[in-house]
Amino acid sequence: MRVLQVTPAFYPAHLYGGPIQSIYELSLHLGRNGCEVRVLTTNANGLNEVLNLETGKDLELGVNLRVRYCKRLLRHSVSPSLLIQLPAYVDWADIVHLRAVYSFPTIFTLLACKVLGKPIVWTPHGAFQHWKGQKRLQVKVMWERICKLVAPHKMIIHTASEKEAQTAFDHFPKVDVAVITHGIQIPPTVVRECRADHLRLLYMGRLHPIKGIEQLLDACKILKDRSRVNWRLTLAGQGTLQYTRVLEERINELGLCQQIQFAGAVINNAKQQIFRMADVLIVPSLTESFSLVVAEALAHEVPVIASTGTPWNRLDEMGCGLWVSNDPESLAAAIEKIRQLPLREMGLKGREWMEKEFTWEYCTQRVLSCYRELLQ
């Protein structure tokens, strides 16, 4: 099976967060399962940076995996060279897997599949989910109308949760939706740092308003004022310089400079190390389609407090975390509660859950089944 993945950005563009790692890992595992995989993408790595990789030719990145990075000209993904290459790549493929929604390649990829009669799987990565404070809603409505006009008949929308599936159905009621979680790499062994004299809280992800970090900071202020828990918080991730300054100023205003530190972007071994030193991961997002970092933390035996804006409602059921509202009082209460729970036992239960339902081999087989169904 020849699979083309079209995505506005690709590994190692870690600035874009979890979706980049998911697309990369799925591409690798599809190749290892006998598919010929090609990725058509740009060299974008944020608004102002590009990847230091060769453009204009296919690069071998794994077994049966070739990637063509096209030069990004404007914004996050505007690339005339990608547009030029797109028809030939779509024509080569048996099936096309499109990533993202409101980005430069989207409409052109849908149209190319319609003209060339190619089936397509479309993964929105949470783009259809709306949240308070979101900008350009009217533009997005118009964009979706164009997508509906040019979309091919044989199409499935792939979502990572039932919550996201309902949102996708609301936007595209005539298109079938397949719910398949993203996979994660399960570390063969986990080494945990000894418990400290304080509760080590961790936020890991993009620094962006949708992530609810400001609500978490307000919760930390409540914790400090109540003095029931001795805690420290690490903020691990990247964001725009402007928003990072907003967070720094907020931390200073709340008088939390001694308890909160920024760790910057963490990947690969650095990510494993920071999980080793964390007692609890906190995900206070306004909305999430999946939140890969939750699965990664559980695989590293770190219990999780996740907001009800995420799809991780089974945390309580599986005994490895808490699923709570992301208002500051609820977050603070959850942190105080989890401090009294058996964190080590919860971490082990979380890893066991990930090993059963979230390995990449398991998820890849489900994606392949989706591809085969669409090709029939």
pLDDT reading at 191 higher than 90 = no
% of the chain beyond a pLDDT of 90: 80
Across 12-21, 211-220, 225-234, 259-268, the highest mean pLDDT is recorded for 211-220
Tokens 């691990």, located at residue? 236
pLDDT tens string 81-131: 999 999 999 999 999 999 989 999 999 999 999 999 999 999 999 888 776
Distance CA 69, CA 339 (A): 46
* Rounded mean pLDDT, 198-223: 96
Angle between helices 292-299 and 268-276 (to 10 degrees): 60
Of 18-22, 328-332, 347-351, which range is least confident?
A: 18-22
Mean pLDDT of the chain: 93
pLDDT tens string 39-49: 999 999 887 78
- Taking CB atoms within 8 Å and a gap of at least 24, the contacts of 30-34 are 30/3, 30/64, 30/65, 30/364, 30/367, 30/368, 31/62, 31/63, 31/64, 31/65, 32/62, 32/63, 32/64, 33/364, 33/365, 33/368, 34/1, 34/64
- Sign of the C-alpha dihedral computed for residues 129, 131, 136 and 141 taken in this order: positive
pLDDT reading at 268 higher than 90 = no
* Rounded mean pLDDT, 347-366: 95
Provide the β-strand partners of residue 233: 201, 260
- Sign of the C-alpha dihedral computed for residues 149, 41, 48 and 282 taken in this order: positive
pLDDT tens string 16-27: 877 898 999 999
- Sign of the C-alpha dihedral computed for residues 352, 291, 176 and 132 taken in this order: positive
pLDDT of residue 56: 87
What would the two tokens of residue 25 be? 């890992």
Distance CA 105, CA 345 (A): 45
* Rounded mean pLDDT, 130-138: 71
pLDDT band at 243 (very low <50, low <70, confident <90, very high): very high
- 243: helix, coil or strand? helix
Of 22-36, 90-104, 189-203, 336-350, which range is least confident?
A: 189-203
Could you give all domains of the chain from N- to C-terminal order, each with its CATH number? 2-183+359-375 (3.40.50.2000), 199-357 (3.40.50.2000)
pLDDT of residue 46: 80
